[in-house]
Amino acid sequence: MSEAVITLNGLTKRFAGMDKPAVAPLDCTIHSGYVTGLVGPDGAGKTTLMRMLAGLLKADGGNASVLGFDPIQNDSELHAVLGYMPQKFGLYEDLTVMENLNLYADLRSVTGETREKTFARLLEFTALGPFTGRLAGILSGGMKEKLGLGCTLVGEPKVLLLDEPGVGVDPSSRRELWQMVHELAGDGMLILWSTSYLDEAEQCRDVLLMNEGELLYQGEPKALTQTMAGRSFLMSSPQENNRKLLQRALRLPQVSDGMIQGRSVRLILKKEATAADIRQAEGMPEITLNETAPRCEDAFIELLGGAGTSESPLGSILHTVEG
């Protein structure tokens, strides 16, 4: 197993006026050498957790250790080995690509030959070499993310915290970002990638699934997905449109959740239910029902408790992307 470099013991954060903690008592260990996904809907506590790990927010209870450093008490030592790329990274849009890199090198006290070698490596790594004279403000979304990543890597951190870097990035650039961070992780860096995209979660070796401040699952996404084997089905009917069919299915006690997927309705059955139960259910029209491979979001819906008689909770709180 990889060296454990982040440990959380009962870590908690509350904000005034909130009924629930932003981060409930959280216990987990995060390892280096692969990408760990911090996954959950908006408001799950992902950014709050990252800010605590970066030493920008003080916990109200418990403790965190990053490379053996307390993020608050050992902030100087931690910042020397930690890179944090927030959702709105502080690029100076009226500066060029190279001027931004120089600025962050100044902040990290990277000088002389070390600076030159670092820039050469980062410009090749991010493929931004041809654009060093371009203003950051006119870069595409994907190129801005690459520049932000490059600036974060100037100090050669051992831990990299990335808060939703895939938001607003085209599929091609997103794939390139993933290739870059997997390469960094393969070199031994710890990378925590925050996302509300379950498609991105499936690219991680390990995931932390959060909702409303609570940790629902830690482990491999494939293992979580396989817990839903035999319970995911695609349904259609020549007698009824998909929206009415979905509403009808969600009222059945055997159905945990459902959503419209293309020309079909995707159903997640409860553990004890069978396809025959759905076909024979009172009030159901003539249907075609075929088992389909489970997906990560199927398992996450199950952890959330299913949709009940309303449409899938993932429709409003989580995102899926293709590409």
Query: Tokens 């553990």 sit at which residue?
Result: 271
Of 3.60.15.10, 3.40.50.300, 3.40.50.2020, 1.10.10.10, the CATH number of 4-225 is: 3.40.50.300
Query: What pTM does this model have?
Result: 0.85
119 Cβ contact partners less than 8 Å away, ≥ 6 residues apart: 98, 101, 105
Starting at the earlier edge strand, list the strands of the sheet with 82-85: 82-85, 159-163, 190-195, 35-39, 206-211, 214-219
Amino acid making up residue 54: A
Q: Residues 269-312: pLDDT tens digits? A: 999 999 999 999 998 999 999 999 998 888 887 887 765 444 44
All structural domains of the chain with their residue ranges? 4-225, 226-317
Residue 226 to residues 108, 167, 242, 291, Cα–Cα distance (Å): 44, 27, 27, 14
pLDDT tens for 91-146 read 899 999 999 999 999 999 999 999 999 999 999 999 999 999 999 999 998 899 99
Amino acid at 209: L
